[in-house]
Structure 1
Amino acid sequence: MKLPVVIAAPMAGGATTPELVAAVNEGGGLGLLPAGYLSAAALAAAIGATGKLTDRPFGVNL
């Protein structure tokens, strides 16, 4: 497995969106969703939205 060269930081507070995570993934990097300020429902929605935008693996920072 080849590791990505670029890792997008999970910036809490709205800076990192599912669209940004997917764009980083599609560019060959690893995007990370922030979960620090999200409710369980909001996090589930963000994970679902990201999964619809990319078929590549992404991370979630708890």
Structure 2
Amino acid sequence: PEASGEEHRRIVEGDINEMEGVVLEVEDIAKAALYLASDDSKYVNGHNLVVDGGFTVGKAPNMPAPAL
């Protein structure tokens, strides 16, 4: 919580990012929402669309130890 915005970004993009060389952009979330609102998703229901770059797939996150 006491880390700066830049430090949070470094942790998410470098330390816990499961997709090498790929960084989540605002447009990625917008495109997921647009998909769900479009006719392309007409047969999708009861599904949680997780846009997290594989973070919740089940691997233990590679997070740095908290500062004591």
TM superposition score normalised by structure 1:
0.28
Q: Which has the higher helix share?
A: 2
Scaled by the length of structure 2, what TM-score is found? 0.26
- Greater relative contact order (Cα < 8 A, sep 6+): 2
